[in-house]
Structure formats: structure tokens, C-alpha cells
Amino acid sequence: MKNTSKLLIVFFATALAFSMAACSSGGAGGGGSPAPSPSAPAEPTSTRFESKDADGNTYVLEITKASGSRAVYTPKAGDNYVLTINPGNKISRGTITNIDGDDLILQPSNTDSDPFTVTVEKTSTAALMTSIEGTITTDDGKTTTVTVEVIPVGTYETIKLTANIWEDGKAAGEAYLAVFGLSDFSTVIPQKGDVFKFMISGTTKTPLKKFSCELSIRPIGGGYQWLGGGGNYVELLTTFQDVIIEVEILNDPLPYEFIGIVISNSLWRKDENGEYIFNDGKFPAGTKQNDVIDTINNFKISLFEINRQ
């Protein structure tokens, strides 16, 4: 029997980026690609994430921390929040007044307004908001009563797509590449047979003609392991909206340090003779490893559903 698990918005998350080799041909294992090397996470002073419910309403929640210096920020009583609900541009502002287990109690600043509750599920790298419940009072004094589960949408102003050149230093590079931590979207550990569904939107200078998503991990001890995806390419125009990409998990994960969502625009494939055929030409002359090839502006990615057998 197939169960469908709806995923939930990132509520507080760290920006953890690292260079991970994508496997754009869809093959398992490491190929000849380099092992990932993590960079230090940026120190946040606030967080902003967007979500939407099953009816298409969007919720943008911004939290400004009152104190503390953790890379993965733990909310505290007294922190400020701004919640924007669309359509209608309805805004609620106030503070976190109490934390009761996994429930955060948010108190709008309006006089005599009722508090409402968000429920979070914490991981080692993020805390995910699983629901919003209660009566939300907005700045204009109007109220909205909700009991909703929200779909995750990570919003990024600019994503840099970089060259991943791994075959003997030749310009036969594998992909344009960006990585997001799966734990920023879900506490679910992938299992063989799962199908993860991602939705993406954005704008680029050039069309992305072989765009894909995959899941890969950094095992304990180094290297990387491909879990699935990267083979079912889609063609994206310079502006694309709500494109769905499915990733089937073909390998159970080894004990790991990090699971990443890899997005890539592959430049090549091999023909039947093993020769490289390039998609719209080669890397520009003089391209080096990790050079920025293109960018995606106003990039949004969501993991909104997992189908588990």
C-alpha cells in the first residue's frame, strides 16, 4: 500500500553549502567525481521562509533573533516574528511568548489579540514547522482562523551554478551544480523505493536544457553516495514556474554525515561509441573548477511530497 507523506516548511534552518559531485548520467556510485568539501555555515541574524497550504494560500514567516550565536538558531521567548499571508498581503507582527515542547506560541502585537500556535519538529540542522493553528490577528485588526499543514518552499534570491570538471581536468565537466540540505526540508530519511517530488521556479539568463535533481550523501568517513535521481532531465525556459521533478531512491543510504539535494544542468552525455556529446557546446574557454557558469534568480524549491511503498 502506498502512503503519501506531505512535507512541511522549513521554519529555522542553516545555510550549509558544499561542493558535491552530481551523477548526471543517473549511475550509482562515485564515478570519477571529487568528494564533497563543506564550507562553514553563515551566521544568521534572521530567517525568512515561504510556504503554502493545499488551498494555495502562502505564508511567509520572518524571525529575528533577540540574542544568541548558533548557526542553527534555536527560537527563544522574546524573539520577534512577522507572518505575511497571501493573497491579500495580510501581515501579523509580534513576539514568541512561550515555547511548550514542540509548540511555539506567537502573540500578535495588536491589543487584546489571541495567541496562535505553530508546531515545529527539530533536527540537528533545522527545525521544521509542521502546522499553524489558531486565530491570527493581522495589523489591520482583522482575524483569520486556521488549522493548516504547510508545504515547504525554500526561497533564494540567487543560486550560483558552477562548473564541476572532474574527468582528468578536461572541459568535459559533469554539471552546473548547487546543493541544499535535505534536513532543511524534512526529517524523513530516504529509503529504497521512495519517490521524492520537488517543485522548482526561477529565472536564468540562458535556458537550462538538461536540468535535474538528485539526492546524494556524504558518508561517514568521506566520499559520497548517490541515492537516486539525476537521470530524468527536464527542459526549462529562462523563466520557469512550478516545474515538478521526481526523484526515485534506488539505494539505501550508508551511515552519513549529510544528505544533499543536488540540482544541476548537465552539459554532456556519451554516445554509443563513448564520445562526449555536449548540450549547446562546451564550457567557455578557460573554464576552471567551480567557476560560475550561470545563475538562477528568485529560485524556489520545495519538497512537497514523498511517496513511500
| pLDDT tens sequence across 116-128 | 998 877 655 555 6
CA distance 105 to 95: 9
All three cell numbers of 12: 529555522
Q: Are residues 189 and 140 in the same domain?
A: no
pLDDT of residue 47: 59
User: Of the given ranges (64-68, 94-98, 226-230, 245-249), which has the lowest mean pLDDT?
Assistant: 64-68
Q: What's 140's domain CATH number?
A: 2.40.128
Q: Are residues 285 and 211 in the same domain?
A: yes
Tally of domains in the chain: 2
Q: What is the mean pLDDT of residues 281-288?
A: 70
Q: Are residues 119 and 161 in the same domain?
A: no
38 cis-preceded (ω within 30 degrees of 0): no
pLDDT of residue 232: 75
User: Of the given ranges (18-22, 157-161, 162-166), which has the lowest mean pLDDT?
Assistant: 18-22
Q: What is the mean pLDDT of residues 281-295?
A: 76
How far, CA to CA in Å, does 39 sit from each of 19, 82, 132, 149, 281? 8, 30, 33, 33, 31
* Cα separation of the two ends of the chain: 6
pLDDT of residue 137: 95
Q: What is the mean pLDDT of residues 146-162?
A: 81
Statement: residue 24 has pLDDT above 70? no
CA distance 224 to 256: 9
Statement: residue 229 has pLDDT above 70? yes
Residue-range definition of the domain harbouring residue 35: 3-7+14-40+154-308
All three cell numbers of 232: 530524468
**SS3 category, 9:** coil
Q: Are residues 34 and 172 in the same domain?
A: yes
> How many CB atoms are located within 10 Å of the residue 158 CB?
10
pLDDT of residue 297: 92
Under the banding of pLDDT at 50, 70 and 90, the label for residue 211 is confident
The mean pLDDT of the chain is 74
The rounded percent of the chain whose pLDDT value lies above 90 is 24
For residue 1, what are the contacts with CB-CB under 8 A and spacing of at least 6?
Answer: none
